Amino acid sequence: MHDEVGENAAKFFRITNRFIEQGIKQGSILVHSVQGKSRAPTFILAYLIFREKMKLKDGLAVLREYVNEVEPNESFM
């Protein structure tokens, strides 16, 4: 997926949510992207919203506790 305005991240959420869930069940998971500021956090947020029923702003706050630079592309939101 490209980190560009207009890119539809949502079309990947089902597969990335499944990937994250399987990794958690196996004991560990690594979700990464080139800079770790937009794409990876977008997919982690999608998982938190879907599985943990977390609100977007709360998910962003949790992620920023670990990585201050988290800034998902606006069109991913």
pTM: 0.88
pLDDT for residue 75: 80
Q: Over the stretch 37-69, which tens digit does the pLDDT of each residue have?
A: 889 999 999 999 999 999 999 999 999 999 899
Q: Over the stretch 5-29, which tens digit does the pLDDT of each residue have?
A: 788 889 999 999 999 999 999 999 9
Contact status, residue 62 vs residue 54, Cβ threshold 8 Å = yes
Q: Helix axis angle, 39-51 relative to 13-26, nearest 10°?
A: 80
The DSSP H or E segment spanning 49 is: helix 39-51
Q: What is the CATH number of the domain that holds 59?
A: 3.90.190.10
Contact status, residue 51 vs residue 43, Cβ threshold 8 Å = no
Q: Confirm whether 2 is domain-assigned.
A: no
Q: Confirm whether 54 is domain-assigned.
A: yes
Q: Confirm whether 26 is domain-assigned.
A: yes
Q: Confirm whether 4 is domain-assigned.
A: no
Q: Please give the Cα distance from 57 to 25 (Å, whole number).
A: 26
pLDDT for residue 36: 84
- Total structural domains within the chain: 1
The range of the structural domain enclosing residue 33 comes to 9-72
